[in-house]
A and B are shown apart, each in its own frame.
Chain A
Amino acid sequence: MEGHVRARLVKNHIFKGIVMLFAFISLLPLLLILYYITKNGISVINWDFLTHLPRPIGEAGGGVFNAITGTIMLIVLSCVFSIPFGIIAGIYLSENKEGKLSSLVRLCVIVLQGTPSIVIGIIAYVWIVAPLRTFSALSGGIALSIMMLPVIIKTTEETLKLIPYHLKEASLALGVPYHKTILKVILPSGLSGILTGILLSVARITGETAPLLFTAFGNQFMNWNILKPIDSLPYRIFYYAMSPYPEWHTFAWGASFILVVLTLALNLIARGVSIKWKIQF
């Protein structure tokens, strides 16, 4: 009897040990990735790298200034398209919890979220690049905004659902019209949640490369025209990483360092916003 109990306890401990071991082994890649990016990336980063354009191979120096501005421009473009649209659709879903259209839209959001990014790249190519006959920042922005949409819709819906019903009732009882109640009472109290969703979706698309391969394409020169191809950090990393030149490989690490810092910062800010600005009911 004693032995039986001990055997069960031993089994219990062994299992716990295995779970902890496997859980922490899976952190190994993260440590290695962060270590390599910091080790190889930080030495490349200097003022020149951040403020100069890429130079042809063989010439020393050069940087990724155009990729940084390109990434920022793509983010702004995709935000312009997706934020208003996403928030409005999110309001619709939170206001119409049941109904055929709502469940259809919810299904669409799920499918859209799972759609491979490369497929969205093809869509933007067919819709924008092919008719305009040129790769463009605009098409890249559209592709990225399609990727942002489901995240924004979902977080808006979930945030607004959590806002207590009596807030709405109080406003309606005071005679405030329904649309003003939504826009001036419900939406502001859900602001932190919506903002978190937007930041998370921006973090998600900042590192996306696949939809940009045949939309924004890449450009080794500076460009501010949204109808011309534009460079971006992820594309530059891909281009440099696949090149045969060791100098460019170090540049890829440097650009990766910037990109990782950028996405992690966005994630951190998003988390900070959701904690700090949380309205307690």
Chain B
Amino acid sequence: MKKDERQSGTDRSEARFAKILAISAVLIACLLFAIALTLFIQSLPAIKTFGIGFFVGKTWDSASEQFGALPFLAGTLLTSFLALIISIPFSIAISIFLGEYFKEGAASTFLRSSVEVLAGIPSVIYGLWGLFLLMPMVRVIETKLGVPPHGVGIFTSALILAIMVIPFSASIGREVITLVPSDLKEAAYSLGATRFEVLKNIIIPYARSGIIAGILLSLGRAIGETMAVTMLIGNSNFIPTSIFSPANTMASVIANEFAEATGLVSSSLIYIALVLFLVTMLVNIIGNYVIQKISIEASKEVT
């Protein structure tokens, strides 16, 4: 009798433990769902007023309550893609350096820890640094080119974004490059291929989808990056006319205007946030799916 009671007590706490674990897991899923739902409900007034036309509307004017997100869409796309183009050669070089040329040793440790430090520096500090070093430099370039020397704008933001995403895509690139099976590489070496040829014909083609996934994930980062861009983009709600003109990205317009926003302005800003959320969600799911598939394939080939 006594033994039974003790047994059932253990069973009960066992069941309670399992329940707590499951509840916490369900809560995580609920959290994400609640985030999506909150964004949707809060943006409903704007969705009702502007519909899909919100994304082709060119004016953002609180006085006349006309809101269109095209300037910010353009700002986000321009800064992110420009940043990716600038960062790709560097991040691929770091991935090859760490994944193939120097897998270990002092040079590798040094580069890897430096890249980690670069990744750990807060966004607002990149912004501050950009404001006092990049901005004057860009101003000089702009004066030479004969465009209005704002200093701040799309180009400056893209530069700082490029610096910020390099560590991210480089670390993913390094990982997928080290996943390339060594028997493939050794086979090529034994046929007399040089390292460059192995890289060009074996490693890069094999790791291509992973490298692209890494670039996609850094695109997600660049799209959502807020502080450094807010400080350097120049806060202008008009469609950018050149890559040097001041603009606003989707994230930076929220940062600049949300604290004072009410009514339809606030709802429109949340509409932008909803889109930002959905786009980064899509990018992250696709990127992670590709990388997961590659690592599963690689682990299969080893065994």
Tell me if B42 is interfacial: C-beta within 8 Å of chain A.
Answer: yes
Chain A interface extent, by class:
35 or more
Query: Contacts of B31 on A, CB cut-off 8 Å?
Result: 108, 112, 146, 149
Tell me if A125 is interfacial: C-beta within 8 Å of chain B.
Answer: yes
A22 in contact with B89 given A15-B199, A30-B114, A263-B120 (CB within 8 Å) = yes
Instruction: Judge whether A111 and B284 touch: CB under 8 Å.
Output: yes
Interface 9-mer from B10-18, B53-61, B183-191: B10-18
A114 in contact with B220 given A108-B32, A119-B276, A210-B123 (CB within 8 Å) = yes
The one of B21, B276, B283 in contact with A91, judged by C-beta atoms closer than 8 angstroms, is: B21
How many Å lie between the Cα of A203 and that of B123 in the bound state?
Answer: 12
Interface of B toward A, CB cutoff 8 Å: 10, 13-14, 17-18, 20-22, 24-29, 31-32, 35, 38-39, 42, 89-91, 93-94, 96-97, 101, 111, 114-118, 120-129, 131-133, 163, 166, 170, 194-197, 199, 217, 220-221, 223-227, 231, 251, 254-255, 258-259, 269-270, 273, 276-277, 280-281, 283-285, 288
Query: Contacts of A249 on B, CB cut-off 8 Å?
Result: 132
Interface of A toward B, CB cutoff 8 Å: 8-9, 11-12, 15-16, 18-27, 29-30, 32-33, 36-37, 40, 85, 88-89, 91-93, 95-96, 101-102, 104-105, 107-123, 125-127, 146, 149, 153, 177-179, 182, 203, 206-210, 213-214, 217, 234, 237-238, 241-242, 249, 252-253, 256, 259-260, 263-264, 267
Number of A-B contacts (CB under 8 A): 237
How many Å lie between the Cα of A27 and that of B115 in the bound state?
Answer: 7
- Residue contacts A-B, CB under 8 angstroms, 22 given: A8-B197, A23-B90, A23-B93, A23-B94, A26-B94, A85-B24, A92-B22, A101-B25, A102-B25, A108-B31, A112-B28, A114-B220, A114-B281, A114-B283, A118-B273, A119-B35, A122-B39, A125-B258, A177-B14, A209-B123, A237-B125, A241-B124
Instruction: Judge whether B118 and A29 touch: CB under 8 Å.
Output: yes
Query: Contacts of A210 on B, CB cut-off 8 Å?
Result: 123, 226-227, 251, 255
Instruction: Judge whether A29 and B163 touch: CB under 8 Å.
Output: yes
Instruction: Judge whether A101 and B220 touch: CB under 8 Å.
Output: no
Query: Contacts of A208 on B, CB cut-off 8 Å?
Result: 122-123
Chain B: which residue is nearest A179 at the CB level? B17
CB distance from B103 to the nearest CB of A (A): 14
A122 in contact with B258 given A27-B114, A32-B129 (CB within 8 Å) = yes
A238 in contact with B283 given A119-B273, A178-B17 (CB within 8 Å) = no
CB distance from B231 to the nearest CB of A (A): 6
How many Å lie between the Cα of A111 and that of B224 in the bound state?
Answer: 13
A108 in contact with B28 given A23-B93, A209-B124, A237-B124 (CB within 8 Å) = yes
How many Å lie between the Cα of A105 and that of B27 in the bound state?
Answer: 9
Instruction: Judge whether B128 and A237 touch: CB under 8 Å.
Output: yes
A116 in contact with B280 given A107-B285, A209-B124, A241-B231 (CB within 8 Å) = yes
CB distance from B26 to the nearest CB of A (A): 7
How many Å lie between the Cα of A24 and that of B96 in the bound state?
Answer: 12
A267 in contact with B118 given A33-B125, A89-B28, A210-B251 (CB within 8 Å) = no
A88 in contact with B24 given A12-B195, A264-B120 (CB within 8 Å) = yes
Instruction: Judge whether B133 and A36 touch: CB under 8 Å.
Output: yes
How many Å lie between the Cα of A30 and that of B191 in the bound state?
Answer: 41
The one of A15, A23, A107 in contact with B196, judged by C-beta atoms closer than 8 angstroms, is: A15
Instruction: Judge whether B90 and A213 touch: CB under 8 Å.
Output: no
How many Å lie between the Cα of A217 and that of B42 in the bound state?
Answer: 21
Chain B: which residue is nearest A8 at the CB level? B194
Instruction: Judge whether B21 and A36 touch: CB under 8 Å.
Output: no
